[in-house]
Structure 1
Amino acid sequence: MSEPRRHERIADELRRAIADGRYPVGAALPSEAELAAAHDASRGTVRQAVAALLAEGLIGSRQGARRVVLSTTPSQSFTELRSFAQWARAGGRTAGGRVLASSWDVAHTDEAGLLQVRHKDPVLRVLRLRTLDSEPVLLERTVYAEWIGSAVEALPEDCESVTQRLYDDTGLVFAHGEHHLDAVAAGTADADHLRLRRGSPLLRVRRTTTTAEGRPVETSDDRYRPGSVVFTVRNSTQTNPLARTHA
């Protein structure tokens, strides 16, 4: 097995150990030397595996101390712009997707501003259900700008990663994202597709993504089933990406 694959395998085994309760929240992981011996791997390889868990928010780091388990649920950091499928794979999960509805429409006033198009310009609306390990966790209501809409429409309805397929097919790179988080009550469609009671609390992420040149690609209303994902924002006195705004 090649070295990159080995660190991924070690990371997967540590994730399972955390999820199974062998390393509960608050517990310290074995040292890098102990993990290297246990997995018959170099300390550099173990360091890569540990770095993956750090990036997912499963463990925390403190200078001179062992890594401590912070959560049993992998998190998505806003310091990285990764697709749902990429995030799922990084956490050792299997992502799935299914288009429930797709149609051309006209841009509403707020969408036109976000996508930098004129009011009533053509847009593609897509309702997509996302799953983790075959369980429904996310309902995406995405509006695509006309210039990329045809490429999205041509994708298979069960496409695992729209982000990856658009890159493979068109070279498109999702470079920048703006996210707004709040909580909403599940409506009828949310409840039906996510298998919840109507009115259940959902984490909503409203996002708009652009190319490296700043050209808007999509704007979306993403609603997550409770307990399915944790978002993290790391800030400091030098760097503070977190802002509070009115709803």
Structure 2
Amino acid sequence: MPESRRHEAIADELRRAIFDGRYPVGATLPSETELAASHGASRGTVRQAVSALLAEGLIGSRQGARRVVLSTTPSQSFTELRSFAQWARSGGRAAGGLVLASAWSAAHADEAGLLQVRHGAPVLRVLRLRTLDGEPVLLERTVYAEWIGPAVEALPDDCESVTRRLHDDTGLVFVHGEHHIDAVAAGTADAAHLRLRRGSPLLRVRRTTATADGRPIETSDDRYRPGSVVFSVRNSTRTNPLVRTHA
């Protein structure tokens, strides 16, 4: 495995150990030296992995002491841009996806502003249903900028992780993300696909992502089925991450 991704694998293994109860709340993790030896990695790589868990609020740090487990709840920190599939796997869940509709059309005024294209420019609209362990939990209405649309259109309809496939196929990296969270009532399509009654409350996340140089990739309206996830804020004087967890 490339050293650049080694810290991700170590972080995932530590998460699983925490979620499985091998490191309960209040337990201390092995030292960086011990982790480096057990994983055959450098201390710098281990430090990157530990930093990811710190950002997610799973562990805490005290000067001169080992890292202490603060939470055993699977979460995604919004200080770290990760895909739905990556988040699901980190909690031991099986993520699925299925494109329900895909078509090119003209960008609306608000979409054009978010994607930094002219009003009426071609964009790819994709309606995708996401599942956890086979159960529908999320309906994504994503609008892709014209420059990346063809690569998205070429992906299989049941692609598990669009983020990972675009990276593997084109080298694209989703670096920046902006999220707006509110609640909405389920419309007819929402209710049908998420197996709910029309008017049921849904948690909505409107997100826009971009490349490292700020070039917009997509803007999306994501609607979560009630009881599927919880968004939490863990406050401290050092970090204030917003996290997504299983309900």
TM-score tier after normalising by the smaller chain length: 0.7 to 0.9
- SS for the counterpart of 2:98 is strand
Are the equivalent residues in 2 in contact too, given 1:181–1:206 (CA < 8 A)?
A: yes
Say yes or no: does 1:15 pair with 2:14: no
CA pair 54-134 structure 1, distance change in 2 beyond 3 A? farther
How far 1:184 sits from its partner (Å)?
1.0
How far 1:14 sits from its partner (Å)?
3.7
Letter in structure 2 aligned against 1:89: R
* Residue of structure 1 equivalent to 2:191: 191
Letter in structure 2 aligned against 1:15: F
* Residue of structure 2 equivalent to 1:204: 204
Could you report, residue by residue, the CA deviation over 1:39-62 in whole angstroms, capped at 9, with x for unpaired residues? xxx5666999987765555x4536
CA pair 236-70 structure 1, distance change in 2 beyond 3 A? closer
Letter in structure 2 aligned against 1:168: D
CA pair 100-9 structure 1, distance change in 2 beyond 3 A? same
- SS for the counterpart of 2:148 is helix
CA distance in 1, matches of 2:237, 2:230: 23
Could you report, residue by residue, the CA deviation over 1:71-112 in whole angstroms, capped at 9, with x for unpaired residues? 64x222110011111111122211110000001110001001
Say yes or no: does 1:170 pair with 2:167: no
* Residue of structure 2 equivalent to 1:36: none
CA pair 214-66 structure 1, distance change in 2 beyond 3 A? closer
CA distance in 1, matches of 2:203, 2:123: 25
Could you report, residue by residue, the CA deviation over 1:23-53 in whole angstroms, capped at 9, with x for unpaired residues? 6xxxx344447xxxxxxxx566699998776
How far 1:227 sits from its partner (Å)?
2.6
Unaligned stretches of 5+ residues in structure 1: 34-41, 243-247
Unaligned stretches of 5+ residues in structure 2: 1-5, 40-45, 243-247
* Residue of structure 2 equivalent to 1:160: 160
- SS for the counterpart of 1:212 is coil
Say yes or no: does 1:134 pair with 2:134: yes
* Residue of structure 1 equivalent to 2:83: 83
Could you report, residue by residue, the CA deviation over 1:173-220 in whole angstroms, capped at 9, with x for unpaired residues? 111111111111111111111122222221111011111111111000
* Residue of structure 2 equivalent to 1:61: 60
* Residue of structure 2 equivalent to 1:150: 150
Are the equivalent residues in 1 in contact too, given 2:54–2:60 (CA < 8 A)?
A: yes
CA distance in 1, matches of 2:152, 2:197: 31
CA pair 32-147 structure 1, distance change in 2 beyond 3 A? closer
How far 1:66 sits from its partner (Å)?
8.4
CA distance in 1, matches of 2:181, 2:137: 16
Are the equivalent residues in 2 in contact too, given 1:12–1:92 (CA < 8 A)?
A: yes
CA distance in 1, matches of 2:120, 2:10: 52
Letter in structure 1 aligned against 2:182: D
Matched positions, count: 225
Q: Provide the aligned C-alpha RMSD in A.
A: 3.4
Are the equivalent residues in 2 in contact too, given 1:174–1:209 (CA < 8 A)?
A: yes
Aligned-pair identity (%): 71
Matches for 1:74-113 after TM superposition, within 5 Å: 74-113=74-113
Deviates more, 1:98-107 or 1:83-92: 83-92
- After TM superposition, the score normalised by the length of structure 1 is 0.76
Letter in structure 2 aligned against 1:61: G
Are the equivalent residues in 1 in contact too, given 2:28–2:66 (CA < 8 A)?
A: no
Are the equivalent residues in 1 in contact too, given 2:205–2:221 (CA < 8 A)?
A: yes
Are the equivalent residues in 1 in contact too, given 2:11–2:52 (CA < 8 A)?
A: no
* Residue of structure 2 equivalent to 1:117: 117
How far 1:230 sits from its partner (Å)?
3.0
